[in-house]
């Protein structure tokens, strides 16, 4: 067994690998960029080596620097994690050439599956069904458009070297093909260094079902059953489960056998995942599933397979890479219960899952029955350089219903403040009727997007509680505050404050009257709501609101207040009348960056006449492209940025000439 390994990754997967290595008595080396100097994985490892600047190409994607770090620290092996260099055959080869063990498949296996077009051809030769489409070498736009027409719309454009939803576009109409193709090619080039694409027929009611496989150096291959990963946004998974609901023994056998054939065809060693797409328009059927791709690495969602099999997949990776045979035979593997994983991201679901950045003011997971895989803590920064994953919330139960109940409880009792997240979206998704019924498909989120993201105004009691807590949490500590100085009340008469709150979908002006120590009457214009604070903790309160006991988490930044109770997060803003009086109606005259990122393309110039909704600037942030459009009809007055420029959130990208008003 290895004496020391280097983990060539960051975040939760680096922490995950380090935990197993530590349990096995193996020393670990972390690597980090300038953005990750104080990161959790750096603190957990026995040693740490700086790779370079924050951009991944200057650090985590540098083969030379990673290999040099392993050589310098005397590591016996390198674990690539997932993402970054994990599926880079040149990296695997360079590791081997340095006399270091690559904890993963041979470079030849990575190459065989790395180019999706070649992989599909190989699968056809091996008797594995593939989705109809175009996988050829000719990449001219005209030919690709012709092939798309032959396949029939809708079609799926996919980067041949891709994965994780990068370089992927669904196209429903012929007139949208060219723009989608160019966007997919740019994204593929930026993510994988290869802009070649392939085309596939887009199945209208598909399920994404994948099979975990494992091979060793002695020719043994097993599968560890399936995972259903159909709940996706932007072709990236949000909630995964194992086993797949509705799976029959015949279907499981057919998919498992096909996955093992795939692994054997390329002499696979280590952990891998064979992804299939199943057409469920007529239900699950052994003759209606197709090979999509093979991920030659550990998957993000591997914990749910661990939960239902009792296997530590990272330990298996280490043992197999060290030359040991697989610890178990196929006949010894069984499924125990049901498991779910929910991915908690820093993103704004209502704004098209736009990635978010900022400092995690608070991060709490209080359900002790849930497994939390995370690489961040309260106080850490979610930067624009890497994937915005905050944590994976994993639960297990004896049945699907029991596991789903635990998932809901785990989501309800989790809390994040300081950064916009998809926590509430996950809670709604986990309660969606068709998902609860066990009928997931990849269209579930799109079909129910409005229901999943609709604005729900806070209840009157929540608004009243926010008004009271705003007086305590948003007051500057150095300010003479009579509320705190007099214990929130006055002996010679009732003390009152007017509090104005803005929230998604509305605003309220309330009169808060102190009736006694920590006891208030809140007038909302219609009725009086009694609020009593009965307990305080670190950012937490117990209160009695309108006769009901509640526990609430509260976080305040500047004039913004966030409350989390009953599994819901409510954001409030206290307007500043002095600063807002100076604002005018210039918002529609400017196009601003919604988050930090890189300006990839500027599609306009000074003097150009544009229409509302026309794409003007393409930005790249957190490995995704964002197309920014004209806020109104008008003429470009000034272009304030250039292609290749890094900009911060709120940066003015361009301005339109002010609209002339009639006299």
User: pLDDT digit string (tens) for 582-628?
Assistant: 444 456 788 988 878 889 999 999 999 999 989 999 988 766 778 88
Q: 0.95 exceeded by the pTM?
A: no
Q: How far is CA 622 from CA 187, 257, 345, 598, in A?
A: 12, 37, 12, 10
Show the CA angle centred on residue 285, arms to residues 282 and 288, nearest 5°: 85
Q: What is the pLDDT of residue 495?
A: 78
Local confidence band at 57 (pLDDT 50, 70, 90 cut-offs) = very high
Q: What is the pLDDT of residue 494?
A: 57
Per DSSP, 305 falls in state H
State the average pLDDT over residues 244-254.
96
Cβ neighbours of residue 449 closer than 8 Å, sequence gap 6 or more: none
Per DSSP, 332 falls in state G
Q: What is the pLDDT of residue 489?
A: 42
- Residue 513 CA to residue 530 CA, distance in Å, equals 10
Average pLDDT, the chain: 90
Task: Tell me the domain boundaries of the chain.
Answer: 4-103, 132-201, 206-453, 460-578, 584-656
Residue 303 — left, alpha, or beta (φ > 0 → left; ψ -120 to 50 → alpha)?
A: alpha
For residue 243, give both structure tokens.
């086993």
pLDDT tens-place string over residues 88-144: 999 999 999 999 999 999 999 999 998 877 888 888 888 888 888 898 889 999 999
Q: Which CATH architecture has domain 132-201?
A: 2-Layer Sandwich (3.30)
Q: What is the pLDDT of residue 539?
A: 82
pLDDT at 356 exceeding the cut of 60: yes
Q: What percent of the chain has pLDDT over 90?
A: 69
pLDDT at 188 exceeding the cut of 70: yes
pLDDT at 234 exceeding the cut of 70: yes
Other Cβ atoms less than 10 A from the Cβ of 646: the count is 12
Q: What percent of the chain has pLDDT over 70?
A: 94
Contact between residue 150 and residue 177 where contact means Cβ atoms under 8 Å apart: no
Residue given tokens 């500043």 in the structure block = 576
Burial 95-132 (b: 16+ CB within 10 A, else e): beeeebbbbbbbbebbbbbbbbbbbbebbeeeebebbe
pLDDT tens-place string over residues 449-492: 999 999 888 999 999 999 999 988 765 543 434 445 344 444 33
Cβ neighbours of residue 137 closer than 8 Å, sequence gap 6 or more: 117, 196
Query: Which CATH class for the 584-656 domain?
Result: mainly beta
For residue 204, give both structure tokens.
């209208």
Contact between residue 268 and residue 222 where contact means Cβ atoms under 8 Å apart: no
Residues tagged active-site? 297
Question: 36-45, 169-178, 201-210, 541-550 — which is least confidently predicted?
Answer: 201-210
- Residue 663 CA to residue 171 CA, distance in Å, equals 47
Let me know if domain 4-103 sits in CATH 3.40.50.20. yes
Q: What is the pLDDT of residue 577?
A: 54
Q: What is the pLDDT of residue 559?
A: 79
Question: 293-307, 329-343, 398-412, 501-515 — which is least confidently predicted?
Answer: 501-515
Give the phi and the psi of residue 60 in degrees, each rounded to 5. -65, -20
Give the phi and the psi of residue 241 in degrees, each rounded to 5. -145, 155
Local confidence band at 566 (pLDDT 50, 70, 90 cut-offs) = confident
pLDDT at 79 exceeding the cut of 90: yes
CA-based torsion, 114, 117, 122, 127: positive or negative: positive
Contact between residue 597 and residue 646 where contact means Cβ atoms under 8 Å apart: yes
pLDDT at 407 exceeding the cut of 60: yes
**3-class secondary structure, 426:** helix
Q: What is the pLDDT of residue 571?
A: 87
- Per DSSP bridges, beta strands 624-629 and 206-215 are unpaired
State the average pLDDT over residues 186-206.
87
Q: How far is CA 156 from CA 168, 171, 202, 633, in A?
A: 7, 6, 5, 32
Q: Which residues pair with 79 in a beta bridge?
A: 7
User: 232-237: long-range contacts at Cβ-Cβ below 8 A with a sequence spacing of 24 or more?
Assistant: 232/165, 232/208, 232/442, 232/445, 233/349, 233/353, 233/445, 234/165, 234/353, 234/624, 235/164, 235/165, 235/168, 236/164, 236/165, 237/208, 237/300, 237/301, 237/343
Q: What is the pLDDT of residue 584?
A: 44
Residue given tokens 């690709």 in the structure block = 144
Fold of the domain spanning 460-578: Glycoprotein, Type 4 Pilin (3.30.700)
Domain 206-453, CATH: 3.30.470.20
Q: Which helix (H) or strand (E) holds 448?
A: none
Per residue, what are the HEC states of 460-492? HHHHHHHHHHHHHHCCCCCCCCHHHHCCCCCCC
């Amino acid at each position: 067994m290895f004496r020391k390994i280097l983990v060539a990754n960051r975040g939760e997967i680096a922490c995950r690998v380090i935990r197993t290595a530590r349990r096995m008595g193996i020393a670990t080396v972390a690597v980090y960029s300038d953005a990750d100097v104080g990161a959790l994985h750096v603190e957990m490892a026995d040693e740490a080596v700086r790779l370079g600047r924050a951009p991944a190409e200057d650090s985590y994607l540098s083969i030379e620097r990673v290999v040099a770090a392993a050589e310098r620290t005397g590591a016996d092996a390198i674990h690539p994690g997932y993402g970054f260099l994990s599926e880079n055959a040149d990296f695997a080869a360079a590791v081997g050439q340095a006399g270091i063990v690559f904890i993963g498949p041979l470079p030849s296996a990575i190459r065989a599956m790395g180019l999706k077009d070649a992989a599909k051809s190989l699968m056809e030769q091996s008797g594995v069904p593939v989705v109809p489409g175009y996988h050829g070498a000719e990449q001219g736009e005209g030919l690709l458009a012709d092939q798309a027409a032959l396949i029939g719309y809708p079609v799926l454009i996919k980067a041949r070297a891709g994965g994780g939803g990068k370089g992927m576009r669904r196209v429903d109409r012929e007139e949208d093909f060219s723009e989608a193709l160019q966007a997919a090619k740019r994204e593929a080039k930026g993510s994988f260094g290869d802009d070649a694409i392939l085309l596939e027929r887009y199945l209208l009611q598909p399920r994404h079902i994948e099979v975990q496989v494992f091979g060793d150096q002695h020719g043994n291959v097993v599968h560890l059953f399936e995972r259903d990963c159909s709940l996706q946004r932007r072709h990236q998974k949000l909630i995964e489960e194992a086993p797949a609901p509705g799976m029959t023994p015949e279907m499981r056998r057919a998919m498992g056998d096909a996955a093992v054939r795939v692994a054997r065809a390329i002499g696979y060693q280590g952990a891998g995942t064979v992804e299939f797409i199943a057409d469920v328009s007529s239900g699950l059927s052994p003759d209606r599933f197709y090979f999509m791709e093979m991920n030659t690495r550990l998957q993000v969602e591997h914990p749910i397979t661990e939960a239902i099999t009792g296997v530590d997949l990272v330990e298996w990776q280490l043992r197999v890479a060290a030359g040991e045979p697989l610890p178990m035979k196929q006949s010894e593997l069984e499924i125990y219960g049901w498991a779910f994983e929910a991915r908690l991201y820093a993103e704004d679901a209502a704004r098209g899952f736009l990635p978010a950045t900022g400092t995690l003011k608070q991060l709490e997971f209080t359900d002790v029955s849930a497994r939390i895989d995370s690489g961040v803590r309260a106080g850490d920064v979610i930067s624009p350089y890497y994937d915005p994953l905050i944590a994976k919330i994993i639960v297990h139960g004896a049945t699907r219903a029991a596991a789903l109940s635990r998932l809901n409880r785990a989501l309800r009792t989790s809390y994040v403040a300081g950064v916009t997240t998809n926590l509430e979206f996950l809670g709604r998704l986990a309660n969606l009727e068709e998902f609860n019924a066990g009928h997931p498909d990849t269209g579930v989120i799109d079909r129910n997007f409005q229901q999943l993201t609709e604005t729900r105004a806070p209840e009157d009691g929540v608004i009243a509680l926010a008004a009271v807590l705003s007086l305590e949490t948003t007051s500057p500590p150095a300010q003479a505050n009579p509320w705190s100085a007099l214990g929130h009340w006055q002996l010679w008469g009732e003390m009152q404050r007017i509090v104005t709150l803005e929230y998604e979908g509305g605003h309220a002006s309330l009169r808060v009257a102190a009736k006694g120590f920590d006891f208030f009457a809140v007038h909302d214009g219609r009725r009086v709501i009694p609020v009593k604070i009965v307990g305080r903790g670190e950012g937490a309160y117990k209160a009695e609101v309108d006769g009901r006991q509640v526990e609430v988490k509260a976080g305040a930044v500047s004039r913004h207040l966030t409350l989390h109770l009953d599994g819901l997060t409510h954001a409030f803003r206290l307007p500043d009348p002095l600063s807002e009086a100076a604002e005018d109606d210039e918002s529609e005259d400017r196009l601003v960056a919604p988050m930090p990122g890189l300006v990839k393309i500027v599609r306009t110039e000074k003097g150009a006449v544009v229409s509302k909704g026309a794409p003007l600037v393409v930005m790249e942030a957190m490995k995704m492209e964002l197309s920014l459009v004209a806020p109104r009809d008008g003429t470009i007055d000034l272009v304030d940025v250039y292609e290749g420029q890094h900009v911060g959130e709120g940066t003015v990208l361009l301005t339109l000439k002010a609209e002339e008003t009639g006299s």
